[in-house]
Structure 1
Amino acid sequence: MSKAFNMELNSTQIGVVGLGYVGLPLAVEFGKRYPTIGFDINSARIAELRAGRDSSLEVEPAELLETTGLRFADRIDELADCQVLIVTVPTPVNEHKQPDLRPLESASRALGGVIRPGAVVIFESTVYPGATEEICIPIIEAVSGLQYNQDFFAGYSPERINPGDKEHRLTTIKKITSGSTPEVAAFVDALYRSIITAGTHLASSIRVAEAAKVIENTQRDVNIALINELALIFNRLGLDTQEVLEAAGSKWNFLPFRPGLVGGHCIGVDPYYLTHKAQEIGYHPEIILAGRRLNDSMGAYVAREVIKLMTRRGCLSQDARILILGLTFKENCPDLRNTRVVDILAEFRDYGIACDLHDPWANPAEARAEYGIDLIEQPTAGAYDAIVLAVAHRQFAALGAQGIRAFGKADAVLYDVKQLLPREAVDGRL
């Protein structure tokens, strides 16, 4: 039997563990209503936030400095008095495309050392169904000596942050909530409803909430894979994919997906969490993994298409040089996590072709540390045999086709991955 849960919402102090793209906006919103501590193991990150700077560009300096209920910490023991502890650490995959739960396990061990009786731990990190109660809770129990649903409780409310999106913000996206007992679920739901103006959806269990989150991006991944495959087919047929999609889109129920590179912290990662759990219980997913394989192949496909165009134009030589515009996983955002632009670069390098990479949004030090890529500050005019527009940053849109072509030689190939430019202005596009 679980002990009766009893916590007053108005007297709650909240600790948020992990201050990245998900955790920081959450800590700021809670800090407007409750005493809140934002914790991160990265002391440099804490220092910049205390100074009113957010390198992820998700929160404005004024919000950081004016949210009086929020303070930042890089010592886990500062969370010891928090009745609610919210975990927002990354859940990536490893080199074998298997879930990498080390950040989540580490956060659970850290919280096990500070959690007090009666506290609620809420997880927001994307996981497979069952991970919260099968992986995280036993770690907290082992470290703390407390018993689940007797001495402490849990909730799961998956993040739905879209990095760089200034329209769909934390408070304007409906939030899924759940709890380890009906009373805890009601508390977690009320807690999030107090900051989420779009409202909440209370799931019947933590496992349902976990499953709902992991299929959101799996569905998008499979849909994009279908459109990518159609693009491969239409290219062989000599048809322009965008023209075909625009025609098909005239029907009211045609889904408006577009071809492209599928990276980032969610769509290119979350399906592997679901397929891992499916295989663990003896089911081999067909459609999901096929979609993943196809989407992961698109960077190499783009590079080969550019090389074909260069060969036909006679500008592919031993001294050829290619400019890639954009490295982040999406436009107008500094997020480099799981960007698939690196697949384009890797394919060019396999062919022995020299490349320069320019991105006004990416952090050069992060690009070097994460991918070994040295970004150039500004491309040289008239220097390139081909230009690949890989990310639709507004700076590139402002240049237009003429401005972008100015970086190339007179006969340079211009390939548009993101369909940013008019069809007649480019030599090839997805």
Structure 2
Amino acid sequence: MSNYNINIKNPKIAIIGLGYVGLPLAHAFSAKFKVVGFDIAQSRIDELRNGYDRTLELSEEQVKEAISNGMEFTNQLEDIKDCNIYIVTVPTPIDEHKTPDLTPLKKASETIGKVLKKDDIVIYESTVYPGATEEVCVPILEKVSRLKFNEDFFCGYSPERINPGDKEHTVTKILKVTSGSTPEVAKFIDDLYKSVISAGTHLAPSIKVAEAAKVIENAQRDINIAFVNELALIFDKLGIDTQDVLKAAGTKWNFLPFKPGLVGGHCIGVDPYYLTYKAKEVGYHPEVILAGRRINDNMGIHVANKVVKLMIHKGHTIKGSRVLVLGITFKENCPDIRNSRVIDVIRELQEFGCNVDVYDPWADKEEVKREYDIDLLQITNNQLPITNYNSIILAVAHNEFKKLNDIIQNLNSDIKDSLVVYDIKGILDKNSVDNRL
């Protein structure tokens, strides 16, 4: 790696935050550099030291591989004070008012400020609005460390592009956007990432450009999904199957293959609010982005209301009816429950007086209880007891649920005629379901 007048000849990297983003990144860097993984949760440190990753982003072999490369896991500040590159990968959620919550980012900056030394570089990967690194994080680093930005220490921004649960597009196989607070630092950071990212890098002209690129990636997807969600609402009133329409339209070469659904997770359902927050701050009221957010945020209510109407049509009494929701994670074949919008469906059905059970073989039952106050249904050998319910809602397309087609087809006619099946993900045969989004 070229030096570019940066006084870091032997990079020792501290990854701050060992979640879905930080751990795979730490593993990638550990192949070539000394790496210390830092997380405030002792339980997380303990399980990683034992080779277990609860996010399932890394296998036991990969965690142990990183350890054999010399990687350390710690929650002690003393263990990262001799690092010279700090990479921040903490969550950046929104609060109940849809406002960016930068508390984890600020606390991480305070932590780094306590050990920051002359010539160190701090790189942020957490999703933020344009300007946050230099307007929010840098002042904290300066205040705590008593060092001068771009004289004593430097910063960069390289937005995370982790796709939880995706074993094909892993961190090293996704092109990485990089940036730095000076041209020399930007080149150094770009070379640092390029040394482990096989897909290559794109050096943005400024930190703000890199920050903006990240938020519009997911805002774009959010708006496109909102469009097909609105189509689903229209086609439902017209009595047309949305999946059939999209399949027909998709025969044109330039039709974009977006599907309707619940938009949750740590990115698509959150990032647009970071951009709209900053837009309002500078005096612009965003219309298209917020309209898309309103549509997507209300899809869970639409699903619940549709299910209730279908049950009424089949003669069920709604209060006290039994509903089984299959899936609580925000996406298929992944244990991540952050910002899952399945909860909107559940809460709306409970408002109607339904008794709702939730089954998810991927989700951690303790985490679900803590986050949503829901006791996950425990099922042996994934034997779905669908005959015990008035309605089944397929909310997440886990592989374990794809056998539902055969189960439904093998039901006796009386049970099949009485049962309401709603497919949010559109993965079941339309002849097996009463309705699908």
Length-normalised TM-score, structure 2: 0.95
* Aligned AA (1:174): L
* 8 Å Cα contact 2:6/2:188 also seen in 1: no
SS in 2 for 1:356: strand
Question: After superposition, what is the alpha-carbon deviation per residue over 1:376-411, rounded to whole angstroms, capped at 9, x for unaligned?
Answer: 112535210000000000000134352598699441
What is the correspondence of 1:90-129 to structure 2 with a 5 Å cutoff?
90-129=91-130
Kindly tell me the number of residue pairs found equivalent between the two proteins.
Answer: 426
Per-residue deviation at 1:318? 3.3
* Aligned AA (1:186): K
SS in 2 for 1:239: coil
Q: Which residue of 2 aligns with 1:247?
A: 248
Q: Which residue of 2 aligns with 1:34?
A: 33
Distance in 1, matches of 2:411 and 2:55, equals 31
Distance in 2, matches of 1:294 and 1:5, equals 50
Q: Which residue of 2 aligns with 1:418?
A: 425
Q: Which residue of 2 aligns with 1:193?
A: 194
- 1:323 equivalent to 2:330? Answer no
Of the candidates 395, 411, 429, which is equivalent to residue 400 of structure 2? Answer: 395
Q: Which residue of 2 aligns with 1:21?
A: 20
Distance in 1, matches of 2:176 and 2:352, equals 46
* Aligned AA (1:389): L
Distance in 2, matches of 1:394 and 1:44, equals 29
Q: Which residue of 2 aligns with 1:136?
A: 137
* 8 Å Cα contact 1:127/1:210 also seen in 2: yes
Structure 1 range deviating more: 372-381 or 209-218: 372-381
What is the correspondence of 1:5-20 to structure 2 with a 5 Å cutoff?
5-8=5-8, 11-20=10-19
Distance in 1, matches of 2:134 and 2:89, equals 16
Question: After superposition, what is the alpha-carbon deviation per residue over 1:348-377, rounded to whole angstroms, capped at 9, x for unaligned?
Answer: 011111110000000000000011111111
Distance in 1, matches of 2:255 and 2:286, equals 26
Distance in 2, matches of 1:102 and 1:409, equals 51
Question: After superposition, what is the alpha-carbon deviation per residue over 1:144-186, rounded to whole angstroms, capped at 9, x for unaligned?
Answer: 0000000000000000000000110000000000000000000
Distance in 2, matches of 1:8 and 1:81, equals 12
* 8 Å Cα contact 1:401/1:421 also seen in 2: no
Structure 1 range deviating more: 408-417 or 390-399: 408-417
* Aligned AA (1:108): S
* Aligned AA (2:335): P
Per-residue deviation at 1:339? 0.0
Question: After superposition, what is the alpha-carbon deviation per residue over 1:104-151, rounded to whole angstroms, capped at 9, x for unaligned?
Answer: 000000100011110000000000000000000000000000000000
Structure 1, unpaired ranges of 5+: none
Length-normalised TM-score, structure 1: 0.97
* 8 Å Cα contact 1:32/1:70 also seen in 2: no
Instruction: Say if 1:119 and 1:404 are closer, same or farther in 2 by CA, change over 3 A.
Output: farther
Q: Which residue of 2 aligns with 1:58?
A: 57
* Aligned AA (1:382): T
SS in 2 for 1:262: coil
Per-residue deviation at 1:80? 0.7
What is the correspondence of 1:289-328 to structure 2 with a 5 Å cutoff?
289-328=290-329
Distance in 2, matches of 1:319 and 1:95, equals 30
* 8 Å Cα contact 1:327/1:342 also seen in 2: yes
* 8 Å Cα contact 2:319/2:352 also seen in 1: no
Distance in 1, matches of 2:324 and 2:74, equals 42
* 8 Å Cα contact 1:401/1:426 also seen in 2: no
Distance in 1, matches of 2:378 and 2:319, equals 25
* 8 Å Cα contact 2:45/2:73 also seen in 1: yes
Q: Which residue of 2 aligns with 1:46?
A: 45
* 8 Å Cα contact 2:8/2:84 also seen in 1: no
SS in 2 for 1:382: helix
SS in 2 for 1:44: helix
Distance in 2, matches of 1:308 and 1:367, equals 28
* 8 Å Cα contact 1:17/1:89 also seen in 2: yes
* 8 Å Cα contact 1:275/1:284 also seen in 2: yes
SS in 1 for 2:324: strand
Of the candidates 391, 397, 400, which is equivalent to residue 386 of structure 1? Answer: 391
Structure 2, unpaired ranges of 5+: none
- 1:233 equivalent to 2:234? Answer yes
Question: After superposition, what is the alpha-carbon deviation per residue over 1:283-303, rounded to whole angstroms, capped at 9, x for unaligned?
Answer: 000000010010000001000
Q: Which residue of 1 aligns with 2:366?
A: 365
Q: Which residue of 1 aligns with 2:153?
A: 152
SS in 1 for 2:305: helix
* Aligned AA (2:218): N
* 8 Å Cα contact 1:33/1:69 also seen in 2: no
* 8 Å Cα contact 2:349/2:356 also seen in 1: yes
* Aligned AA (1:25): P
Structure 1 range deviating more: 64-73 or 188-197: 64-73
Distance in 1, matches of 2:111 and 2:410, equals 52
Distance in 1, matches of 2:188 and 2:182, equals 10
* Aligned AA (1:7): N
SS in 2 for 1:391: coil
Structure 1 range deviating more: 281-290 or 70-79: 70-79
Distance in 1, matches of 2:353 and 2:51, equals 44
- 1:222 equivalent to 2:253? Answer no
Instruction: Say if 1:86 and 1:406 are closer, same or farther in 2 by CA, change over 3 A.
Output: farther
Q: Which residue of 2 aligns with 1:171?
A: 172
